[in-house]
Amino acid sequence: MSKPSAAAEPIFLGYDQEDLNKAYDQSFWAPQIAQLEAADEIVSATVRKTTPPVTIQYDPTNADLIDVFAPAGGKAMPVLVLIHGGAWTRNTREDVSYPAPTFMGRGAPYLAPILAA
């Protein structure tokens, strides 16, 4: 991180806006992020092909969507909703499908929402 300028005002715990932006940018902390995301995309595409989700629009005024991966015949199950990292500026709900088989195999639905930009 660069040193804050003398004019930069701290806005949270001594961080100025530039430092906060960097703290929330995963590519700053994981320089190999392109390779990690590419691997997630490949595995997620396979999961979506073998176990297609039900995609639901959860806000009638725009394209906010959620993918629902649910075990067949399940009732009264715990549910995992993944709010993926990246401040919703990186990846899509399609890119985070890879955990679905793990949770479905243990009887829990897996949901991956995305807020449309």
* Single pTM value for the model: 0.71
- Phi then psi for 19, rounded to 5 degrees? -65, -35
- Segment 18-34, tens digit of pLDDT: 888 888 777 788 889 88
- Segment 88-105, tens digit of pLDDT: 566 778 888 999 999 999
Contacts of residue 104, Cβ cutoff 8 Å, sequence gap at least 6 = 51, 69, 70, 71, 110
pLDDT at 36 over 80: yes
